[in-house]
Amino acid sequence: MTTSTLEDGNCAGGEGEEELDEEGKDRDDRKTEKSALQQTQRPAWAPCYFSYTNKEVYYYVGQKIIIQEGLDSYAGQIWPAALALCHYLDTHREQLRLVDKAVLEIGAGTGLVSIVAALLGGWVTATDLPETLNNLRVNLSRNTRDGCRYTPQVAALSWGHDLEHTYPTSIYRYDYVLAADVVYHHDFLDELLVTMKHFCKPGTTLVWANKVRFETDLTFIENLKKAFNVSLLAEDGELKIFMATSRDGDIREQHLEQNYREVQIDSTELEEDQNKENDSGTILNCDRSEDEKEQNDDLKRDEEEKMEETGNIREDGHTEATDSSYENVAAQNSIEQTAAMPNWARSIRMSLNKDIYHYVGQDIIIQESIDSYGAVLWPAALALCSFLDNNKDVVNLQGKEVLELGAGTGLVTIVASLLGASVTATDLKDVLGNLSANVARNTRGRCKHMPKVAHLSWGNDLEQTYPSTTHRYDYVLAADVVYHHDFLNELLITMKYFNKPGTTLIWANKVRFETDLTFTENFKKAFSTSLLFEDGEMKIFKAVSG
């Protein structure tokens, strides 16, 4: 079957796709009513004003795909391996023929991969944990309604639990199992492998995309190779796409695997294919409408206006003058990253995911990113900001020296600065550009002390990089830093290092995993602690040197 036949059979083009039918309007009205009800029931630490503008636009299979993200879980974000897998599926339709195939996605998250698979003609079932299904279902419906051969299904799936009971192999058999960036759930890797084994029977092909971040990723890859016949489909730095088939497979599976090995191409060949398609006028995932080009031009002009102010920034990230523009650094980083962008990256980077918060009587505009945990706003940051804003008599930051660990997007640092503190925001190097831009955007001309931004790797050469003779703080702040499960020992070492006599550590956290509870116990053993605030799984602790 030719590519054009695939496209004609998979999607219904035209502007009519973007119009909601009456049923869709009714559903949106019900969703609005539900949102109003949720607002009246929201926890005390929720922000006073919140703008949900974090919609991302992608182009695959010649279609515009609009994804609504979430902030409260990993599953609510689009991670790089999903983009890589979507690109691979779109550009390798002959090798991975999804038309009329039964496709299961595990850890579907926002649903982008499932949407692309459905647009390519697959009969898709998208699965994830129950709490993520609403957003997943909305994204699938928005982007596939009346545009696909089969309406994709959404179902709950807890890895490794009662699989034969909930998904009996006698009934649930799939041609393809897809997974993208599912290995960041470090506490559930054994369950993930059990789930892959359950669904990947003879006749099934597992396609797994992953960006290697931690040693646990490498361990999982080794275990995957022991459990399946595995081959590498594509590789671009730390981004890899694997194909796996059951070791119990027959000659058909062996032949299929050999076929995939023959069609493996490296990242250079991928780029050449894109150029050839572009020259021949074929629809690519980077096609843009005139409206979107104008919107991007408007965004660019806005950024250029913001960058008119200039200043000097030292190598350690600290400002030389109060009017220095961190945004220049962030913009330059963005240009360099775009130039070196991998071939699987989406061609349109619409930075629409700006959220507006209201603390200390100010509107705070936060630009997020999607390629690291540190570039996303997590709920404990909101809880801590609310606590600081509403409990100035308990935590008085006016004129105090403050250090934030794992500052991420910089919201906590901004609020502390607006409350009169002299703040140093620290995080890993790869998030400092966005952090600096957010801090500058929201504090320039508003604060007595211009906050500083600096690199800090937990537990590494602390006395050398932050000598205790010169770096002493009244307060150390940290919010939702415990999701970095591989670095909890280093985090505790760092907290101990900075929390000297005279220093108060305030740590906000939402309990998600057993490791959170273990860290909390170790935290209590290391310091004299008290509970400042509690709302369900959300807790804010105060700690001083024991």
**pLDDT, tens digit, 9 for 90 and up, residues 322-379:** 333 444 444 444 444 444 445 544 333 333 456 788 999 999 998 876 544 555 677 8
Q: Is residue 296 part of a domain?
A: no
| Least trusted range by pLDDT, from 32-36, 144-148, 529-533 | 32-36
Quote the pLDDT of residue 123.
94
* Per-residue exposure over 298-316, b if at least 16 CB sit within 10 Å of its own CB, e if not: eeeeeeeebbeeebebeee
- 205-235 pLDDT tens trace: 999 999 888 888 889 999 999 999 999 999 9
Mean model confidence pLDDT for the chain: 76
pLDDT for the residue 214: 81
User: What pLDDT, on a 0 to 100 scale, did the predictor assign at position 252?
Assistant: 45
Kindly report the CATH number assigned to the domain that includes residue 535: 3.40.50.150
Residue 426 counted as domain residue:
yes
Mean pLDDT of 145-158: 88
Whole-number pLDDT of residue 275: 47
Pair (14, 125) in one structural domain:
yes
125 SS3 class: strand
Residues 268 and 369 grouped into a single domain? no
Residue 531, pLDDT score = 95
- pLDDT band, residue 528 (cuts 50/70/90): very high
Q: Is the same domain home to 370 and 257?
A: no
Element (H, E) at 84: helix 80-91
Look at residue 449 and tell me whether its pLDDT is greater than 70.
Answer: yes
Judge if 269 and 384 occupy the same domain.
Answer: no
- What is the average pLDDT across 443-461? 90
* Residue 322 placed within a domain: no
Cα distance between residue 434 and residue 411, in whole Å: 12
Question: Which residues have C-beta within 8 Å of that of residue 366, sequence separation ≥ 6?
Answer: 354, 355, 356, 357, 377, 409, 410, 411, 438, 442
Residue 140: which H helix or E strand, with range? helix 133-144
Residue 239 falls inside a structural domain: yes
Neighbour tally for 367: CB within 10 Å: 19
Looking at residue 44, what is its pLDDT? Answer: 60
Q: Name the pTM for this structure.
A: 0.46
431 pLDDT band (50/70/90 cuts)? confident
Residues 14 and 120 in one domain: yes
**Stretch 266-270: mean pLDDT, rounded?**
45
**The pLDDT of residue 16:** 41
- Give the percent of the chain with pLDDT over 70: 66
The residue out of 262, 279, 296 marking a domain boundary is 279
Q: Which domain holds residue 532?
A: 351-545
Residue 79: band (very low, low, confident or very high) from pLDDT cuts 50, 70, 90: confident
Q: Does 257 lie in the same domain as 133?
A: yes
Going along 184-273, which residue ranges are E strands? 205-211, 228-236, 239-246
Give a yes or no: residue 308 inside a domain.
no
374 in the same domain as 248: no
Residues 23 and 169 in one domain: yes
**Could you say which of 220, 254, 279 is where a domain stops?**
279
Q: Which residues pair with 81 in a beta bridge?
A: none
Greater confidence (300 vs 451) lies with: 451
Tell whether 413 is covered by a domain. yes
pLDDT confidence bin for 402, thresholds 50/70/90:
very high
Give the Cα separation of 201 and 463 in Å (integer). 54
Per-residue pLDDT at 307: 41
Looking at residue 271, its pLDDT comes to: 46
pLDDT tens figures, 2-61: 333 333 333 333 444 344 444 454 555 554 444 444 444 556 655 544 434 457 888 999
In a domain, 313, yes or no: no
Same domain? 380 vs 266 = no
> Which pLDDT score is estimated for 117?
96
pLDDT tier at 76, thresholds 50, 70, 90: low
Specify the higher pLDDT residue, 12 or 294. 294
Contact 408, 437 (CB under 8 A): no
Percent of the chain with pLDDT over 90: 41
The C-alpha atoms of residue 421 and residue 326 are separated, in whole angstroms, by 19
Q: Is residue 107 part of a domain?
A: yes
- Cα gap 205→246, rounded to integer Å: 8
**Are residues 178 and 30 both part of a single domain?**
yes
Phi/psi for 389 (5° steps) reads -70, -35
pLDDT at 124: 95
Q: Which of 230, 248, 279 is the last residue of a domain?
A: 279
Average pLDDT, integer, range 76-88: 86
In the predicted model, is pLDDT for residue 503 greater than 80? yes
Pairing of strands 102-105, 63-68: unpaired
pLDDT for 118 beyond 50:
yes
Split into its structural domains, the chain has a count of 2
pLDDT at residue 125 in the model: 95
Q: What is the mean pLDDT of residues 377-385?
A: 87
Tell me which residue of 212, 235, 207, 242 sits closest to 344, measured CA to CA: 235
Same domain (yes/no): 264, 125? yes
Is 84 found in the same domain as 179?
yes
